[in-house]
């Protein structure tokens, strides 16, 4: 992938300096033999191997059964379309065009980020709510009460994004800097890996669209179940595809950050697909669930910001639960999955212990905006895809507009997540490598300065809270 032309922050990092080895423990990877499988650092348990093989089998079984279901539904839909007043020539083209649009939008976002990361970061946080609001307005224009209700939800979601963008504005400078440092010199052939992932996600999504159309042609209650099964399979498959890319790129990037060696991202992807799919499937199942749990707990903690003793004790209990849950599964664990061939739960636990071993680093990790950037970037891609299909449907067949718009939004979102996975991989590798050797000459003072800044802000908040309590207690 080409080096960013205007990457101001990257110039200070010392990654490309001469190979001065810091006192790291011996690496378990034979870096000169990049085609080989990374040997596990510990003896894997029989249970761990069983679960990895089980989830890998579930993935391939799901892909096979979903493909058969899609083929049957497509053939049946084309045969019965005329008898159920379904118009394939009006239903398929807008949705298939929106799938293609999601791929084009994903590639366009890549180009923008490569050549101007700072503007790409800021544009994502203001463009996402605008596009989401546009989808909501489009749905309201369709005219029915149901469409207007769904459109109102999109508008509310856009307002929430706008408020979030205002809230995190002070953190954008650091987010820009850490992204620039971690993605300044991506592994060789990263562009090919990302491009292949986008193509696969677009082709697979287009294939599933044919099955959804076949089920829509008859519209029975059983067909609604078939559509739900196809969408659930799409979500999990896209998660696996995204995380496979993240494991491959983070492995190659970690090698550079931690050991000063260059690893081909394509070779890392080959090893990942051949040996690590089981762990990736487990992580693709656990991470969304744990993220949902932690997000809910954080929301409860924000709403319980009162002096009431019962509310305070409840928030403290939820915080303890969140700290326990994150060690069972987190996206940072994918770095150790790719680098050391660990099981996902073990890798997640080990990486989080490393974060906690450095004073203040866990708080930096928790406040990192990379996941928000990737999420809102994918939301933008989904909105572009949704607008493409929705406007087309609004002009030719309004009755299909709502369902096609929603399908396009879901598919576009997942294609966007796959396209942006390499960013998260690079940032994850940077943090994990730093946690294992924070004094390495390959890292500058960005993270220590951020830790110091957050500690100062926390001390300031504590002082204000103490003063407020003292003023409340005084007569």
Q: Grade residue 116 by pLDDT with cuts at 50, 70 and 90.
A: confident
- For the stretch 411-431, pLDDT in tens is 999 999 999 999 999 999 999
Question: Would you mind telling me the total number of residues written for the chain in this entry?
Answer: 475
Q: Is the pLDDT of residue 45 over 80?
A: no
Distance of CA 73 to the CA centre of its chain: 31
- Mean pLDDT for the stretch of residues 179-193: 90
Q: Grade residue 297 by pLDDT with cuts at 50, 70 and 90.
A: confident
Q: Grade residue 305 by pLDDT with cuts at 50, 70 and 90.
A: low
- Mean pLDDT for the stretch of residues 354-380: 92
Q: Would you state the pLDDT for residue 408? A: 96
Q: Would you state the pLDDT for residue 84? A: 60
Q: Would you state the pLDDT for residue 287? A: 92
Higher pLDDT, 421 or 3: 421
- Mean pLDDT for the stretch of residues 239-254: 95
Min mean pLDDT across 60-64, 109-113, 308-312, 320-324 is at 308-312
Min mean pLDDT across 19-23, 220-224, 228-232, 325-329 is at 19-23
Higher pLDDT, 466 or 417: 417
Q: Is the pLDDT of residue 246 over 90?
A: yes
Q: Is the pLDDT of residue 310 over 60?
A: no
Higher pLDDT, 86 or 292: 292
Q: Which candidate, 343, 358, 345, places its Cα nearest to that of 432?
A: 358
pTM of the model: 0.87
Q: Grade residue 18 by pLDDT with cuts at 50, 70 and 90.
A: very low
Q: 191-227 as b/e, with b when 16 or more CB fall inside 10 Å?
A: bebbbebbebbbebbbbbbbbbbbbbbbeeeebeebb
**Average per-residue pLDDT in the chain?**
84
Burial class (CB in 10 A: 0-12, 13-18, 19+), 93: middle
Q: Is the pLDDT of residue 318 over 70?
A: no
Q: Grade residue 239 by pLDDT with cuts at 50, 70 and 90.
A: very high
């Amino acid at each position: 992938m080409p080096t960013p032309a205007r990457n101001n922050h990257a110039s200070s990092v010392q990654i490309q300096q001469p190979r001065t080895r810091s006192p790291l423990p011996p690496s378990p990877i034979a870096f000169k033999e990049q085609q080989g499988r990374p040997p596990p650092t510990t003896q894997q348990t029989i249970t761990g191997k069983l679960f990895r093989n089980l989830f890998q089998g579930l993935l391939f079984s799901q892909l096979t059964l979903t493909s058969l279901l899609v083929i049957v539904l497509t053939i049946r839909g084309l045969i019965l379309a005329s008898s159920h007043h379904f118009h394939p020539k009006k239903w398929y083209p807008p949705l298939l065009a929106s799938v293609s649009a999601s791929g084009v939008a994903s590639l366009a976002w890549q180009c923008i980020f490569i050549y101007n990361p700072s503007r790409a970061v800021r544009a994502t946080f203001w463009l996402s709510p605008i596009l989401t609001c546009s989808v909501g307005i489009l749905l309201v224009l369709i005219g029915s009460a149901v469409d207007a209700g769904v459109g109102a939800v999109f508008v509310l979601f856009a307002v929430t994004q706008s408020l979030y963008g205002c809230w995190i504005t002070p953190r954008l400078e650091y987010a820009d800097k850490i992204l620039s440092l971690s993605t300044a010199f991506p592994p060789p052939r990263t562009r090919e890996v990302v491009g292949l992932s986008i193509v696969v996600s677009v082709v697979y999504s287009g294939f599933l669209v044919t099955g959804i159309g076949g089920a829509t042609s008859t519209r029975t209650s059983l067909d609604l179940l078939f559509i739900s099964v196809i969408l659930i399979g799409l979500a999990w498959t896209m998660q696996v595809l995204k995380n496979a890319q993240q494991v491959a790129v983070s492995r190659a990037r970690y090698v550079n950050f931690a050991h000063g060696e260059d690893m081909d991202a394509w070779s890392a992807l080959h090893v990942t697909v051949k040996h690590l799919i089981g762990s990736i499937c487990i992580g693709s199942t656990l991470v969304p669930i744990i993220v949902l749990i932690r997000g809910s707990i954080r929301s409860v903690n924000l709403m319980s910001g009162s002096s009431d003793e019962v509310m305070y004790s409840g928030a403290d209990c939820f915080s303890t639960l969140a700290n326990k849950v994150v060690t069972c599964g987190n996206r940072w664990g994918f770095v150790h999955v790719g680098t050391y061939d660990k099981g996902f739960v073990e890798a997640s636990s080990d990486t989080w212990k490393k974060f906690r071993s450095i004073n203040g680093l866990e708080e930096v990790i928790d406040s990192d905006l990379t996941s928000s950037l990737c999420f809102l970037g994918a939301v933008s891609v989904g909105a572009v895809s949704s607008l493409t299909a929705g406007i087309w449907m609004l002009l030719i067949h309004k009755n299909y507009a709502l369902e096609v718009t929603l399908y396009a939004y879901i598919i576009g979102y997942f294609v966007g997540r796959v396209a942006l996975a390499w960013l998260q991989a690079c940032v994850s590798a940077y943090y994990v490598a730093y946690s294992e050797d924070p004094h390495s000459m390959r890292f500058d003072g960005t993270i220590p300065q951020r830790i110091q800044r957050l500690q100062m802000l926390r001390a300031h908040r504590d002082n204000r809270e103490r003063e407020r309590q003292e003023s409340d207690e005084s007569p």
